[in-house]
Amino acid sequence: MSGFPHAQLLRARGVVQGVGFRPFVYSLATQLGLAGWVRNTSSGVEIALEGPAEALAEFRRRLTAEPPALAQVEEVVVEEAEPASYAGFAIHESKPESGVYQLVSPDTATCEDCRRELFDPHDRRYRYPFTNCTNCGPRYTIINDIPYDRPLTTMAAFPMCARCRAEYEDPRNRRFHAQPNACPECGPHVWLATPAGESLAEREAAIKAVRQALAAGQVVALKGLGGFHLACDATSEAAVARLRRRKVRPHKPLAVMVASLETAARLGEVGPSEAALLTAPQRPIVLLSARKDSPVAPNVAPGTGTIGVMLPYTPLHHLILEPAAGFPLALVMTSGNLSEEPIAMENDEALQRLGHIAGLFLLHNRGISARYDDSVWAVVDGVGRPVRRARGYAPFPVKLPFRGPQVLACGPELKNTFCYTRDEYAFLSPHIGNLENLETLDHYARSLDHYRRLFRLQPQVVACDMHPEYLATKLARERWGSDPGMTLVWVQHHHAHIAACLVEHGERGPAIGVALDGTGYGTDGHIWGGEFLVADLAGFRRAGRLAEFPLPGGEAAIHRPYRTALGLVLAAGMDPAAWPSLAALPAEETAVVSRQVAGGLNAPITSSAGRLFDAIAALIGVRGDTSYEAQAAIELEAMAAEAGAAGRPYPFDLRSVAGAWVLDWRPLLRALLADVRAGAVPECMAARFHAGVAAAIVETVGRIAASTGLRTVALSGGCFQNRVLLAQTAQALRGDGYRVLAHHLVPANDGGVALGQAAVAAARMMGEPDAQGTSWST
């Protein structure tokens, strides 16, 4: 090494706060004999270094090659500096900066070191439910502002005791500068309460009482990282039925939590990809193919063929799930809310909102700065894919394929998320939910403001869905529509789906986009949902669609698939009485629907693939009424998965109409009716239907590719959450030589729409030409 000192100032950006980055820098610098300092700033981490050139080069290499497990270093800017003759290396106080921002770490699951201490009788944190270190624990849910220091978190209420302070200041300790550091002497604690708020027990006694209550079949509300769970014995049909009745959730699947990967494998099929997701630091709920001999009660996830499983991700979960004789093998662990309301977050709120559901409440006194639902993932076509993106993933951004203006995208009506963009980052919010009540709208508005403050955002462009009645669209119009300093950009729903898929693959297009879902407002004022687009980020052309059919009763048909089935059959000129499932309906109901369809009275026209799935489910006899969104289609998918090999796909006709390809479903209905009359089993018919849709998609893509020369296909929309459909479609397209883009960072459902809205608005504001060569002006 050269003995001549050199000096450099490094600025690191990314997830570099709250993840042990400064302790790592301190250790690395001292190992290499470098002097200087490190500090947090509002934009990242600054590092001043002095030493030999070779040591500085090795430091830079290891800084990006060997960062802490939870760190994600996006960028390191290096500037030459004048030597200052530092004496050793130090961690300096944080430096607030005006207007700048940094990436924020999501909450992460308890690390193995902390879990080991949790069950070590000789450790001072033995059975302490809030143990954490720089490698794990709460982050996003405790941060009130940046830079990430304890006074700006909800842990500010808990001054560290002498021993915790010593750990915090010891560079050799893994709790060195761990902002949530705490112990039983100085940190938060739990207690057990009645629905009236009366305290029954504290600390270890409270946890023991909760375990006894769960083993006895009671429903318990548990305060966690980002809000409350409702828990009960997942192996008890009576306990699950009690929870469903009180929560007003008759059929929608419930997630379960188990203590170990081995137990998860007793509930569902766990391959390497599923195991990797289950044990990842994010600890999402993972949808597994349910085992026939699963000990979980059948009413946990009826009719789905799957079960959502997660492993413990907090010390409290580990303590509650600790295996013992007589304790349930699995616990239902579902969001603490009534159906379609936001998750309850704080103690008084939970007692008020959940008091009629839970018999006991396990509360704690660590504040929560942001609601945080569990994330849901599934492995489809060999790849992990998000169904709901929240805990563990948000607020980490999606990288945009450009640096653009600051945009706020308001998102859709259902499965809402919103999205802000700044520079090359898209900050997609955690799952908000369906904007159908004041509570969720209030949660939405508060979350908007929290993100804006956290990332120092001042957007001048607002993107929203074209549907005039969506609450998010109304909010955009009312709050910013008349503001001369804001530009409002309307984005078609299915274009947003395809744009989101392109963005997460780092692409701008053009591509052939296949967007299949339940509802999206079309440029012609009709309800779209079975769309083939030639699209890039700035624009699109509707190159194909599913043939339209009426929806008797409008939105009522979503909850009554038999109405959609009647509309489909009548539009095809077929006799409803020929179908056993429709012949069983009351004659008055059939007559009313027939008049609606004939007169076009409250029977809007749609090209929705989601509604087609619902109709086929009703015609086969799977389900005529639903209690939650997409229930009929989910149960139809489960039957198709059960059947396996499909046999001959049901046929569609493909014809050109006004320059676009139209998929005619009437041949499908005729073939399906023949199978119904022949007594074919529902599973076989479900499989043939899925195979028919996949084959029709591939054929339509082929016609569009022939005229455009495009060989990239983007698949998006809620129908592509269907594991059977996505796998069959993607495999067939790849077999024909196409490059297939499917979601792996954001959900294919409406949870990803805000990302697409933001990308479309940014592209238009930047003046990018669209797929038709048109230059957009907004």
- Quick: pLDDT tens for 652-698: 999 999 999 999 999 999 999 999 999 999 999 999 999 999 999 99
The answer to whether residue 770 scores a pLDDT higher than 70 is no
The mean-pLDDT minimum among 104-113, 496-505, 761-770 falls in: 761-770
According to DSSP, the residues that pair with 481 across neighbouring strands are none
Q: What is the pLDDT of residue 20?
A: 82
Q: Which residue matches tokens 């653009």?
A: 404
The answer to whether residue 16 scores a pLDDT higher than 50 is yes
Phi, psi (degrees; rounded to nearest 5) at 480: -125, -10
How many whole angstroms from its chain centre is CA 323?
30
Q: 658: left (phi > 0), else alpha (psi -120 to 50), else beta?
A: left
Residue 724 token pair:
């059977």
Q: List % helix, strand, coil for the chain (3-state, nearest 5).
A: 35, 25, 40
Type of residue numbered 532: F
State pLDDT tens for residues 557-571: 889 999 999 999 999
| Separation CA 621–CA 682 (nearest Å) | 8
- How many other β-carbons are positioned within 10 Å of the β-carbon of residue 588? 8
The answer to whether residue 102 scores a pLDDT higher than 70 is yes
Sheet of 6-15, strand order? 72-81, 6-15, 44-51, 35-41, 89-91
Contacts of 716 by beta carbon, 8 Å cutoff, 6+ apart: 494, 497, 498, 500, 501, 513, 514, 515, 742, 743, 748, 752
Q: Rounded mean pLDDT of the chain? A: 93
Which run of H or of E encompasses 701?
A: helix 682-708
C-alpha to C-alpha distances, 3 to 33, 59, 93, 140, nearest whole angstrom? 12, 16, 30, 44
Mapping DSSP to helix (H, G, I), strand (E, B) and coil, where does residue 740 land? strand
- Give CA angle at 767 (763, 771), nearest 5°: 70
Using alpha carbons, select from 541, 540, 542, 538 the residue that is nearest to residue 530.
Answer: 542
How many whole angstroms from its chain centre is CA 128?
30
Which run of H or of E encompasses 422?
A: strand 419-428
Residue 651 token pair:
């046929």
Residue 772 token pair:
């038709």
Virtual CA dihedral for 382, 386, 392, 394, nearest 10 degrees?
Answer: 140
The answer to whether residue 436 scores a pLDDT higher than 90 is no
pTM attached to this predicted model: 0.94
- pLDDT band (50, 70, 90) for residue 338: confident
- pLDDT band (50, 70, 90) for residue 17: confident
Q: Which residue matches tokens 């799957």?
A: 306
Residue 562 token pair:
């038999």
Q: What is the pLDDT of residue 769?
A: 61
Q: What is the pLDDT of residue 774?
A: 40
| Separation CA 661–CA 549 (nearest Å) | 16
Total count of residues recorded for the chain:
778
Do residues 619 and 582 touch, judged by C-beta distance below 8 A?
A: yes
Q: Pairing state of beta strands 712-716 and 511-521? A: parallel
**Helical segments of 36-126, H only:** 53-65, 112-118
Do residues 101 and 51 touch, judged by C-beta distance below 8 A?
A: no
Residue 377 token pair:
């993932």
According to DSSP, the residues that pair with 421 across neighbouring strands are 407, 426
Do residues 114 and 123 touch, judged by C-beta distance below 8 A?
A: no
Q: Which residue matches tokens 């042990």?
A: 20
C-alpha to C-alpha distances, 151 to 147, 180, 515, nearest whole angstrom? 10, 10, 46
The answer to whether residue 596 scores a pLDDT higher than 90 is no
Contacts of 441 by beta carbon, 8 Å cutoff, 6+ apart: 435, 471, 475
According to DSSP, the residues that pair with 268 across neighbouring strands are 290
Q: What is the pLDDT of residue 684?
A: 95
What share of the chain in percent tops pLDDT 90? 83
Which run of H or of E encompasses 593?
A: helix 587-599
Do residues 703 and 594 touch, judged by C-beta distance below 8 A?
A: no
State pLDDT tens for residues 533-553: 999 999 999 999 999 999 998
Concatenated DSSP letters for 284-313? -EEEEEBPTT-SS-GGGSTTSSEEEEE---
Residue 54 token pair:
């070779």
Phi, psi (degrees; rounded to nearest 5) at 248: 60, 55
Q: What is the pLDDT of residue 777?
A: 32
Using alpha carbons, select from 391, 250, 232, 258 the residue that is nearest to residue 323.
Answer: 258
